[in-house]
Amino acid sequence: MGITAELFINALIAGILLGGFYAAVTVGISISFGILDIVNIAHPAFIILGSYIAYIMNVTFGIDPIVASIVVLPAFYALGAAVYELYYQSFEKHGQEALRGLAFFFGLLFITEVLLILVFGVDYRYVNSAYTDHTLHFDAFDIPLRMLIPCIVALLMVGLLLIYLARTFIGRAIMAVSQDQLALQLMGVNPVSIKRIAFGISIASASIAGALLIVIQPVEPSVGREYIGRIFAICVLGGLQSLPGMVIAAMLLGIVESITATFYGPSWAPAVSFGLLLLTLAFRPAGLLGR
Amino acid sequence: MRSPAFFLVSFAVGLVVFVLARMLDNDYLFFAGYTVLQYIVLATGWNILGGYTGYVNFGSAAFFALGAYSTVVLHKAFPMPIPVLMLVGGIVSGLVGFGMGYLTLRLRGAFFSIATLALAVVLQTLIVNWDFVGGSRGAYIIRPHHLEIFDYEIGYIQYLFFTMMVLAVLSLTVARMVERSRLGYGFATIRDDEVAAEACGVPTLKLKLIATTLCGALMGMAGAPFPYYIGYLQPSSAFGLEYAVNAIAMPMIGGATSWVGPLIGAVLLGTLQQVATVTISSAVNLLIVGLLLTGFVIIAPNGILGLFHKYFRGKTDFVGRRRIDRIGP
């Protein structure tokens, strides 16, 4: 009995830490899919790209992966803005985003994955940093720094984005663009440039999320696929536009996955997110904190 | 042309191809040809839901694998001839398609696409954890060397090729029939403007469920003979991303509004991939597919058919009789 309770609490802690990381992975999709209504299924591919860039900088220059990901933020922002521009000019402008836009992002996901396979092969890559091998011990509970630091960085990032969206002019304009594009236009703001900024931010978040991913686990190009179901499940469960809801949903999924992995084996974990997604879609499509 | 006549004519064309291939007497031709035919069925299945109805299915690999694994299960329990296996695979995948549609199609279209994507991951998890069908180790299916029909010996791969050809002809006939029926016009109204269609009394949910079921069933049927073709089926090969991407790329490149589009796309892209796999490498050939898909959706939104119509009629947004200028709400 004692061992089971201990196991359970350890699984719970691991789940919360994992959930924090999931929040970092999902925040990008919350912005692009939840707020901008752009179904960017290529987001996991950008995350893996972030992982590999952190890996390269870590191996060649010995920079900490998380610092490295912050250094390349502007590049990811520019990439996101460019992708949005292409998407807008080719699809959104003509109202063709439903079918062709989806196919476009799917193609992007596929191209990125295959390119990474061609360049790096399918071997697992991992990074070295000061904290990867340390673990904090409290009585019976272990908190590996490898999980704790990504969780803290992730929550910091989401918190900063939340403040940005609520307090700054552009942040408020981004929230407004999701509600009424025409009204925004009447206020003298160009919705397209606001969306470009927002999409840039969403892809920039993938850089940090990618670095966190490679700190937590070794990465190979097709790992991203497992995250497609997860991030959309979290985003929908959280209520699309609500970042606090998204964080709660991420924690929930992390805990459920961690408990499933502890008691039934890790090979069952990927099925959890999908079950959760289907249940949400069937019973509460508005999500936890949805309007 | 009426549907039975169309079926007979395309069957005759297929038969000519089959006889020509037999005269060349090269087994590789049958192996390569089988893959192309399989893609014709997958692309046509995808197109009924994607091209006609406007709902994007990313889970083609899942439906394909469901068909393949129902064959593995039956092979272990009680072996049956390939056409029966196809039927069973079609029923299983069709039912799953129906269930997916029922859960997600009442919401915005994007939810359906995401759910299909997640379905592939989850079904793969289930299969990996199911020891009866081999789990992650995979399952061996011993393929007979040949088959005797009326004292006439025929190589087994030729038999597989022949059954897949019949299925391809059948699925093209179904697609063409749907396209020209009340059902097809109903699908087109959903694609062009679902809210308006609903307001005009089109039973959209019912039609969408018919489309997902048809789409799933065709893909399952395409997957059913696969274990006999490959000989050794493992989850990662049955759920390969190349099926999902090809099933989308082929209709989009060929032209998604008519049954001809997936056929053109599958024949062109399928052949190209066979050539690229042999001459370059299989990773590069997947890259080519991805690049072609994104290139075509950006530059030639209506695929090769669209280019064709543009060239001959000087009209940009007409393919056949239908406007496909705006898709979705």
Q: CA B234: distance to chain centroid?
A: 20
Give the minimum alpha-carbon distance from B173 to chain A in angstroms, rounded to a whole number.
Answer: 24
* Mean pLDDT of all residues belonging to chain A: 87
B46-71 pLDDT per residue, tens: 999 988 998 888 889 999 999 999 98
Q: Are the beta carbons of A106 and B327 separated by less than 8 Å?
A: no
Residue spans per domain, chain A: 2-283
- Give the contacts of B32 (CB within 8 A, at least 6 positions apart): B271, B274
pLDDT value of residue B319: 46
Q: Are the beta carbons of A102 and B113 separated by less than 8 Å?
A: yes
- Identify the CATH assignment for B3-323 out of 1.10.12, 1.10.260, 1.10.3470, 1.10.10: 1.10.3470
Comparing B122 with A83, the larger pLDDT belongs to A83
Interface test with A, best of B57, B121, B239 (most A CBs within 10 A): B121
Least confident piece of the model among A17-31, A254-268, B205-219? A254-268
Residue spans per domain, chain B: 3-323
Tell whether B290 lies on the interface with A, counting CB pairs under 8 A.
yes
β-sheet bridge partners, residue B322: B319
Tell me the count of A-B CB pairs closer than 8 A. Answer: 138
Overall CATH class of domain A2-283? mainly alpha
- Which candidate, B137, B243, B114, B120, places its Cα nearest to that of A270? B120
pLDDT value of residue B156: 84
Locate A18 and state its tokens. Answer: 């994992």
Q: Average pLDDT of A267-280? A: 78
Tell whether B125 lies on the interface with A, counting CB pairs under 8 A.
yes
Q: What is the pLDDT along chain B (329 residues), one digit of tens a residue?
A: 778 888 888 888 888 888 888 888 788 888 889 999 999 999 999 999 988 998 888 889 999 999 999 988 888 888 788 888 899 999 999 999 998 888 877 776 778 888 888 788 888 888 888 888 887 788 888 777 777 776 677 788 888 898 999 999 999 999 999 988 999 999 999 888 888 988 988 898 899 999 999 999 999 999 999 998 888 888 888 888 888 889 999 999 998 888 899 999 999 999 998 888 888 877 788 888 889 999 988 888 888 888 887 777 654 444 444 444 444 44
A141-144 vs B146-149, strand pairing mode: unpaired
Q: Are the beta carbons of B129 and A270 separated by less than 8 Å?
A: no
Q: Average pLDDT of A174-183? A: 86
In this prediction the ipTM stands at 0.82
Task: Note the pTM of the prediction, 2 decimals.
Answer: 0.85
β-sheet bridge partners, residue B155: B146
Length of chain A: 291
Q: Average pLDDT of A241-258? A: 90
Check if the beta carbon of residue A285 is closer than 8 Å to that of residue B107. yes
Give the minimum alpha-carbon distance from B12 to chain A in angstroms, rounded to a whole number.
Answer: 35
Q: Are the beta carbons of B56 and A41 separated by less than 8 Å?
A: no
pLDDT value of residue A3: 65
Check if the beta carbon of residue A142 is closer than 8 Å to that of residue A10. yes
Residue of A nearest to B286 (CA): A114
pLDDT value of residue A18: 92
Burial B166-186 (b: 16+ CB within 10 A, else e): bbbbbbbbbbbbbbeeebbeb
Tell whether B16 lies on the interface with A, counting CB pairs under 8 A.
no
DSSP H/E element including A144: strand A141-144
B230-265 pLDDT per residue, tens: 888 888 888 888 888 899 999 999 988 888 999 999
* Burial class (CB within 10 angstroms; exposed 0-12, middle 13-18, buried 19+) of A143: middle
